[in-house]
Structure 1
Amino acid sequence: MDLKEEIDQRRREIHTEGYPMSVGEMLNVYRDGDLDIHPEFQRFFRWSDAQKSRFIESLLLGIPIPSVFVHQRQDGVWDVIDGLQRLSTIFEFVGVLKDEDGSSKPPSVLEATEYLPSLAGLRWEADASHNGLSPEHQRLIKRAAIDIKIVNRESDEDAKFDLFQRLNTGGSQLSDQEVRNCLLIMENPEFYRWLTTLQATSAFQNTVAVSDRAKDERYDAELVIRFLSLKDSTTEQLRGVGDMKDFLDRRSRGFARDESYDRDAETHSFEQTFTLLDEALSDQAFRRYDAASGRTRGGFSVSAFEAITIGVNTHLDEWLAMNADARNDELVKRSRQLWSDAEFRNNSGSGIRASGRIPKTIPRGKELFKP
């Protein structure tokens, strides 16, 4: 297949149409339940009150805003692909935005902006503590036009996921994992919620001990997916990892789509693996061991995380069969040996990509952590 044929095939798989709608019309669509902005997404999109106020200012001043992309589901409901923060800001200000529990969120209060300082302290409608917008100014907002780009339901099944990913990476403020979480919510909300329960496991949190900033970017959630994706990968799959971001995207969405994926068994395996590591190593589990000083140094090492967790999980039954004190001593010993192992050290340094690291460090971890 040549380039022309590839382009023609892919262009036929994505069917779109577009037309402008007023903010007032979008409010009605949302109130009627015909627009799904996925309340779970709101935790990943972090506009400040000042940013929200500037957006409302733009509507009042008639400044054009970027297009909103939606996907039309089989039931006719529109899934928001891009534009959630803009729409959420409007819905929250008007007082109709729902949270994850289906409850109405309190209406937001505007801040002063550069061009409209008199917005300070205003709400959509007045209450005992705040002044409200006049009916004239409410009409300005309700009549503001939004360009809606619709990916029709006849499009390829993956069209909305591909579009969401392309629109929300690169210049976006979202981390790779936050984008991935959004994709998983669109794919299978129950699977996403299951991942969050694994992420919250105390033994897991104790051992990874990542920074607050990394948690804010959902790096601990990425580590859960990294563990699940690597532990059952074949040698051939490990050799074909390529870009780690793409690998984790493929694997996690594959799990979310697989109706036979045994979450109960995976939960049990996950909890047992990290409980053993927590009991033996706690927050030192994935930090570099310096034999000269006899201490761990530095921060979290993803290379150690991969090799140790997959190594222990591969031989989980054997580790569980051991006496607890002997097991803890041996896990400490093996984790220290990892840092003096030439195969691991040569393939886990800075500058080595996952595609070069994974096919060597994972098999080595399985060897080193065989009881």
Structure 2
Amino acid sequence: MADHGLKFEIESKTVAEFRSLDKSGELILQPEYQRQAVWPERAKVSLMETILLGYPIPEIYLSYETSPEGEQTASVVDGQQRLTSLLGFLNNKFPLDGLEDEQLREKFEGKFFKELPDDVRQEFFQYRFPIRRLSNLADEFVRAVFARVNRVNMVLTEQELRNALLPGPFNDFLKDCSAHEISSLSGVFSGERRKRGGDLEFYAEVFGTCIFGLSNKKAELNERYDKISSDFEDYRDRAAEFLKLLTYLGDTVKWVGRTRWSNIVDMFTLLHSSWGLREDLYGAGQGRATQVRELLDLFQRAVSVRKRKGENGEAAGLLESLAAMTGITVTEAESVVDDYTSGIRNSSDLGSRRVRSQQLTFLLSKKLAS
């Protein structure tokens, strides 16, 4: 058994003690490796109900650090969702809606914490959480504990584990991508996907694909992520190029309502195809950028019509316009759209990804060469 000098002291803390730690600024609820608060209201209420009933709750892991000046902080390694919910209830952020226990429901349904009787609030403050205390450990060990505990409990996504175990410049770059204007313009990420790190995983996968080529997501994502993370200096220039491409597409694509580019599958293809043509795209001038904008809009509309099996007349008009814009025949345009649409199925499959990228790259190349 490996010996890292880890010490896990067992103790307990009351709700009142956690509130005091939070008010004094000594409690760090969301260390850099932690995920965002994602619990739905029903889960929060269920935890408050458990406390009101006096039932036990799984232990919380706290990592304590003491400075040479004697200042102490406690970072939440495991239990962030529970403590965030607890403090939210104490601060009257949500009421007790949907209580399961009949007696509690009759007394407290719909009430905020401040509306509970004095004796109930006093007893609530005295409820004790079991604590595992980690004292003055190196950051790498705290992260390892966080990842190990959550992996065993099956509560983290793969990307949340990567965020915990692989901090640093690559992770910072992915956050820059996620914060880029194109992420909000496209509407490609739901709030839930962002909370669970899905946006970071998406950009990690696309960037890895731009560097190393198309692959099956499940087969190579982790390997590529580890390589880029450990040697990010070798990829820093290409990371800057990738952000430049995001800016170009953010300024060029017609972001009106929800388009094909608002889907993960299509956005992935757009970024990968554009990466290979980026020098031609940048050098084409404003007039050509406008034409690229119209081409991408026309193409995504044609794919949408094909996918939902729209009227033949509608499809025919779009295909004719697409052919005229790129200098190909209507038959070729129809083949491109059909092949791309077929590649949307089994979207993470290597063959499907290759088909989509080939067809979109073909159209963009035709337009840029005309």
Q: Normalising by structure 1, report the TM-score.
A: 0.62
2:88 aligned residue: 92
Q: Which of 250, 254, 262 pairs up with 1:274?
A: 250
Q: CA deviation at 1:272?
A: 0.8
2:343 aligned residue: 348
1:19 aligned residue: 10
What SS does structure 2 have at the residue aligned with 1:116? Answer: helix
2:271 aligned residue: 309
Letter in 1 for 2:271: T
> What is the distance in 2 between the residues matched to 1:254 and 1:139?
50
> What is the distance in 1 between the residues matched to 2:43 and 2:341?
47
Q: Deviations over 1:311-333 (max 9, x none)?
A: 11332232241423543455467
Preserved CA contact (<8 Å) 2:208 2:224: no
Q: CA deviation at 1:66?
A: 0.9
Q: Normalising by structure 2, report the TM-score.
A: 0.62
Q: Which of 75, 80, 83 pairs up with 1:79?
A: 75
> What is the distance in 1 between the residues matched to 2:88 and 2:49?
15
Check if 1:198 corresponds to 2:189: no
Percent of aligned positions that are identical: 13
What SS does structure 1 have at the residue aligned with 2:245? Answer: helix
- Structure 1 residues 114-123 or 253-262, which shifts more? 253-262
Matches within 5 A, 1:1-371: 8=1, 11-12=2-3, 15=6, 17-23=8-14, 24-38=16-30, 44-48=37-41, 50-71=42-63, 77-95=73-91, 106=92, 108-111=94-97, 113-114=100-101, 115-117=103-105, 118-120=107-109, 122-125=111-114, 130-134=115-119, 138-139=122-123, 141-148=125-132, 150=134, 153-154=137-138, 155-156=140-141, 158-160=143-145, 162-163=147-148, 166=151, 169=154, 172=155, 179=160, 183=164, 194-198=176-180, 201=183, 203-205=185-187, 208=188, 214-218=190-194, 222=198, 225-227=201-203, 229-231=205-207, 233=209, 236=212, 238-239=214-215, 242-243=218-219, 246=222, 250=226, 266-278=242-254, 283-286=258-261, 302-320=264-282, 321-322=284-285, 323-324=287-288, 325-328=290-293, 330-331=295-296, 340-341=335-336, 348=343, 350-351=345-346, 353-354=348-349, 369-370=364-365, 371=368
Q: Deviations over 1:111-154 (max 9, x none)?
A: 555142323455555xxxx35432x7524542423232648624
What SS does structure 2 have at the residue aligned with 1:65? Answer: coil
Q: CA deviation at 1:19?
A: 0.8
Q: Which has the larger radius of gyration?
A: 2
Preserved CA contact (<8 Å) 2:254 2:293: no
Letter in 2 for 1:268: K
- Structure 1 residues 188-197 or 308-317, which shifts more? 188-197
Q: CA deviation at 1:309?
A: 2.0
> What is the distance in 2 between the residues matched to 1:16 and 1:356?
50
> What is the distance in 2 between the residues matched to 1:185 and 1:38?
16
Letter in 2 for 1:90: L
Q: CA deviation at 1:91?
A: 1.9
1:292 aligned residue: none
After superposition, the Cα gap between the structure-2 partners of 1:160 and 1:366, relative to the gap in structure 1 and judged at 3 Å, is farther
More helix, by proportion: 2
Q: Deviations over 1:274-318 (max 9, x none)?
A: 332327x974444xxxxxxxxxxxxx6544332222111332232
Q: CA deviation at 1:156?
A: 3.9
After superposition, the Cα gap between the structure-2 partners of 1:193 and 1:72, relative to the gap in structure 1 and judged at 3 Å, is farther
> What is the distance in 2 between the residues matched to 1:257 and 1:183?
20
Runs of 5+ unmatched residues, structure 2: 303-331
Preserved CA contact (<8 Å) 2:336 2:359: no
Q: What is the root-mean-square deviation in Å for CA atoms of aligned residues?
A: 5.0
> What is the distance in 2 between the residues matched to 1:306 and 1:13?
42
Preserved CA contact (<8 Å) 2:78 2:149: yes
After superposition, the Cα gap between the structure-2 partners of 1:256 and 1:351, relative to the gap in structure 1 and judged at 3 Å, is same
Letter in 2 for 1:166: R
